Structure 1
């Protein structure tokens, strides 16, 4: 009798252990870090490659795990109720305790249910999952290949379950999110969690957020616009170039042929200094450096590596007609990451002047990106569709006409009033915080 129940208990324990393997495989593959698995797969680790294949098809894998766990749990319950109870009840009856003898089968059933539940939770779920969390990549590599084999066996059942699940989800109106949106959202959650636990500094989190914003920022958003370009005609003398370099404070100055739309290169202040030191007659074309041309729609994230590859610090930004829209420097690109960089010899620019706690006097040419640290505006109306990048562009878009002095528009709790015009150009704008009703 004891030998019989021992065999049945052994079978029951094996079923619970099998349940634990499924639970461990599920947790290990779900929590494993993809970057580590990819690195190991590149080094020839077959287990890591199998794990990546399962991670890339989570619906099939999770369905296989669920089928396995459900089958094992059902079989363990049926086996325990039928075999173990039948073997345990006579043993309890042999104790010759009146109450136990009378209800031996019911007591045996209760004991079996409690023991199976306890062992299933501890050995079949909690311990395997905790081990999988502690050694996720290691267990994922070891269990991935057996799980792929089981997935192949269970594929017909999984396909039926998958079709049924998709049908229910369609009825509920649930759609799978885009991978890029999900990944970005996950990184955002990780940054927030890291800051809460003190593992990531706020400045570090802000820098990472700016990196993601680079993909949405175009060259036209960071460039110096055409009206503000300091440039020279190719017929200018070296002395004129030197005077302009000293007065402007710029180290690189574009040079054009007939108009600013025909930029043929740029001069570096170092070359001007060398020409002055040599004391020999030098023409501007002799010291011109080759320019880099980029479209105004180029994302900053793509522009930065191109500037680095070309070893260029300045690029000419062209619009859709091939005309000069502006110029952009390496410093402009870096400022999109770390904020405004001011050189020690360059005076403070009066682009944004705070007049009080609730008002600012701002140049019309100030970019909307520069206003981000001053105002709490979260978005600008129709910016992508209309393509404006400056404060003046915003006002023109809202008014739909050339403004006059005193014209004002309200947006997201601020009033933007044109206080000065330079012919047809918006020169200065008074921004005042207002109480929205």
Structure 2
């Protein structure tokens, strides 16, 4: 009987604290599950009750087994044998049937286990309430006085996410985004200059309206002759009062000052600056002062929550999976994203990528020239075939993955 109670308390501890959000939703839909929800509503009280009850039962088992052993057997001539029997064998039985097996059973069937024994656990909580309150208050006082700040590394957080977010794909993606957020720099998420829709300072108002309608963007960078000379940002909403103006309308007066950031800036710092300055777009510049591209508030938030699509967005397919060994990629895909998609280590190209951040950059780094269509470049176990080139720019690449890394 005592061994059964020990198993019950050990199993209940695992069962209750293994319940997932989906289990709680299932419990909320059942009228008979009120006791289960009530028990877990105060987890510190539940845990204290189960630990107190389990320890009392285990102590009782040891005392009773020792008394029975000494009554039945005489170990006066072999005290070592008596010690082995009373400690090793009894401890083994207690661990196996009172701890290990019930915890395995409860972890595999946590919801049914918690529901089945909820009434008994509820009575137990009420019975031990004075003692558990005293223990909880004592533990709070001790923990406050002995608390030591704990520093957790990014690797430890990533490992914890791997272990705890099984089956919760969206939550896991957000957690992983938060973990990597502080280590991500602007150059990794920016839109490169070749993909930016921008307008010359001397563009006519009629042409400006055409570009605004065609692009669908709410903010457009304005440059003077060269994209390296950004004059400001045009907010499309500022054009609304002037929509009916003639082509000679001086729209340049509506341009707002640009905000410049270096490629190496961390996006968590940039997010704080965006919030403080109430802006949504920054111009990214390289070490020589040239314009590398733009970065928006949406780009930063997408690093945490994933792709954000609105009604004006057209779904852009950056890659197509033909089979497990063959893909077709847009050449502008970032190498970090490429590695995630094909399932290889993020640092696999570190020794050959140089300063390259994209697939196109990796190919250029390893060829030293603008490749021609159908030109083949081998890197590690990957064979890149240039599929399309446009104006000295690699547009699309076919990728074959060899099972032998040395190929």
Q: TM-score, normalized by length of structure 2?
A: 0.59
Q: Does structure 1 conserve the Cα–Cα contact (< 8 Å) formed by 2:157 and 2:179?
A: no
2: distance between equivalents of 1:331 and 1:383? 32
Q: Which residue pairs with 2:280 in the alignment?
A: 313
Deviation at 1:386, TM superposition (A): 2.4
Which residue, 116, 139, 142 being the options, matches 1:140? 142
Cα deviation digits, residues 3-59 of structure 1 (max 9, x gap): xxxxxxxxxxxxxxxxxxxxxxxxxxxxxxxxxxxxxxxxxxxxxxxxxxxxxxxxx
Which residue, 284, 288, 306 being the options, matches 1:339? 306
Q: Does structure 2 conserve the Cα–Cα contact (< 8 Å) formed by 1:238 and 1:272?
A: no
Q: How many residues are matched?
A: 283
Deviation at 1:213, TM superposition (A): 1.3
1: distance between equivalents of 2:137 and 2:344? 45
Which residue, 414, 426, 430 being the options, matches 2:382? 414
Query: CA 1:140/1:191 → structure 2, altered by over 3 Å: closer, same or farther?
Result: farther
RMSD, aligned α-carbons: 3.9
Query: CA 1:214/1:387 → structure 2, altered by over 3 Å: closer, same or farther?
Result: farther
Deviation at 1:322, TM superposition (A): 0.7
Q: Which residue pairs with 2:327 in the alignment?
A: 360
Deviation at 1:435, TM superposition (A): 2.5
2: distance between equivalents of 1:385 and 1:192? 28
Matched, 1:434 2:398: no
Q: Which residue pairs with 1:381 in the alignment?
A: 349
Which residue, 250, 255, 274 being the options, matches 2:222? 255
SS in 2 for 1:260: strand
2: distance between equivalents of 1:425 and 1:142? 61
Query: CA 1:383/1:326 → structure 2, altered by over 3 Å: closer, same or farther?
Result: farther
Q: Does structure 1 conserve the Cα–Cα contact (< 8 Å) formed by 2:353 and 2:362?
A: no
Q: Does structure 1 conserve the Cα–Cα contact (< 8 Å) formed by 2:330 and 2:397?
A: yes
Q: Which residue pairs with 2:43 in the alignment?
A: none
Q: Does structure 2 conserve the Cα–Cα contact (< 8 Å) formed by 1:235 and 1:284?
A: no
Q: Which residue pairs with 1:394 in the alignment?
A: 362
Cα deviation digits, residues 277-308 of structure 1 (max 9, x gap): 56796323211122111000111121111112
Query: CA 1:383/1:365 → structure 2, altered by over 3 Å: closer, same or farther?
Result: farther
Which residue, 255, 260, 280 being the options, matches 1:288? 255
Unaligned runs of at least 5 residues, structure 1: 1-102, 115-129, 146-178
Query: CA 1:390/1:185 → structure 2, altered by over 3 Å: closer, same or farther?
Result: closer
Cα deviation digits, residues 323-351 of structure 1 (max 9, x gap): 10111111111222222223322323243
2: distance between equivalents of 1:419 and 1:385? 20
1: distance between equivalents of 2:178 and 2:156? 15
Query: CA 1:132/1:372 → structure 2, altered by over 3 Å: closer, same or farther?
Result: farther
SS in 2 for 1:320: coil
Cα deviation digits, residues 207-240 of structure 1 (max 9, x gap): 1221121222211111111122211111112221
Query: CA 1:265/1:137 → structure 2, altered by over 3 Å: closer, same or farther?
Result: farther
SS in 2 for 1:213: helix
2: distance between equivalents of 1:378 and 1:392? 19
SS in 2 for 1:317: strand
SS in 2 for 1:261: strand
Matched, 1:275 2:242: yes
Matched, 1:204 2:206: no
Q: TM-score, normalized by length of structure 1?
A: 0.56
Which residue, 189, 192, 196 being the options, matches 1:225? 192
Q: Does structure 2 conserve the Cα–Cα contact (< 8 Å) formed by 1:132 and 1:139?
A: no
Query: CA 1:298/1:385 → structure 2, altered by over 3 Å: closer, same or farther?
Result: farther
1: distance between equivalents of 2:350 and 2:178? 24
Unaligned runs of at least 5 residues, structure 2: 1-75, 87-131
Deviation at 1:206, TM superposition (A): 2.7
> Which piece of structure 1 moves more, 297-306 or 366-375?
366-375
Query: CA 1:144/1:266 → structure 2, altered by over 3 Å: closer, same or farther?
Result: closer
Deviation at 1:406, TM superposition (A): 2.7
Deviation at 1:375, TM superposition (A): 1.8
Query: CA 1:195/1:347 → structure 2, altered by over 3 Å: closer, same or farther?
Result: closer
Query: CA 1:285/1:189 → structure 2, altered by over 3 Å: closer, same or farther?
Result: same
Query: CA 1:364/1:273 → structure 2, altered by over 3 Å: closer, same or farther?
Result: same
More helix by share: 1
Q: Which residue pairs with 2:289 in the alignment?
A: 322
Query: Which structure has the larger Rg over C-alpha atoms?
Result: 1
2: distance between equivalents of 1:408 and 1:134? 67
2: distance between equivalents of 1:279 and 1:256? 22
Q: Does structure 2 conserve the Cα–Cα contact (< 8 Å) formed by 1:396 and 1:402?
A: yes
2: distance between equivalents of 1:428 and 1:370? 15
Cα deviation digits, residues 370-395 of structure 1 (max 9, x gap): 43553213224237982221110111
Q: What is the 5 A alignment of 1:86-101?
A: none
